[in-house]
Amino acid sequence: MLLRPDAVVASVTEVTPELLRELGVRAVMVDLDDTLVPAGSELLEPLFRAWLSELVAAGFPVVILSNGERRRVERYARELGVRGLALVGKPFRHAFRRGLRLLGTPPHETAMVGDQLFTDVLGANLIGLRSVLVSPLSPGKLLHTRALRRLERRLLRRWQRDLAQLQGAGCDEPPKASPRLSTPPRRGWGLWPSCQ
Ligand SMILES: [Mg+2]
């Protein structure tokens, strides 16, 4: 299922080194708008800045991978002390290949963390990255984003029901990272079980 993320969390701050190791990941691409900063806003939470610094300090190289405009992406990349790629063209594969070239890791050891199923998750899954979905920081600036968000919510609800069934059938070992994953995540589930 190309649209289904490997993990769902409420916020980037839940993308801990422990979770990344559990996913087998050594490097991270992170979306900008509605993942780190609300779309159309300039507000970068100190909490998110601290999260990114901690990840880098723990040895995970990070690249911002955004479809947003160059000046905005460069500004935040500079502010956060990481590299940033703007107007990359997610969900197309070439966008993620550019990120991989900067990070120097193979796809299966690299995570894409973002708020949209149809750009971040779909593109990541197409090229074999580990995909992590975060709850969006705003309802979306563009009309089509808002429409896609409604579809995303429907899909997430369906997967959540599927997951509950799998867990009910004794399929899922509780993921090791789950206590850290959820307080609780707004979407209610963490790692997708590996047994299905
Ligand atoms: Mg986004």
What is the rounded average pLDDT of the residues 31-51? 93
Distance 61 CA to ligand 1 centre (A): 20
Distance 18 CA to ligand 1 centre (A): 24
pLDDT above 70: residue 188: no
State the CATH class of domain 7-181.
alpha beta
Distance 66 CA to ligand 1 centre (A): 7
Distances (CA, A) of 195 to 21, 114, 172, 190: 18, 25, 7, 15
* Confidence grade of residue 171 (pLDDT, cut at 50, 70, 90): low
Lowest-pLDDT range of 81-90, 128-137, 166-175: 166-175
What is the rounded average pLDDT of the residues 15-26? 93
Give me the residue spans of the domains in the chain: 7-181
Distance 118 CA to ligand 1 centre (A): 10
Distance 157 CA to ligand 1 centre (A): 20
- Proportion of the chain above pLDDT 70, given as a percent: 84
Lookup: tokens for 89? 């063209």
Per the prediction, the chain carries an average pLDDT of 86
- The pTM for the full model equals 0.85
CB 103 within 8 Å of CB 135? no
CB 28 within 8 Å of CB 110? yes
Nearest-5° Cα angle at 149, 148 to 154: 100
59-91 confidence digits (pLDDT tens): 999 999 999 999 999 999 999 999 999 999 999
Distance 162 CA to ligand 1 centre (A): 26
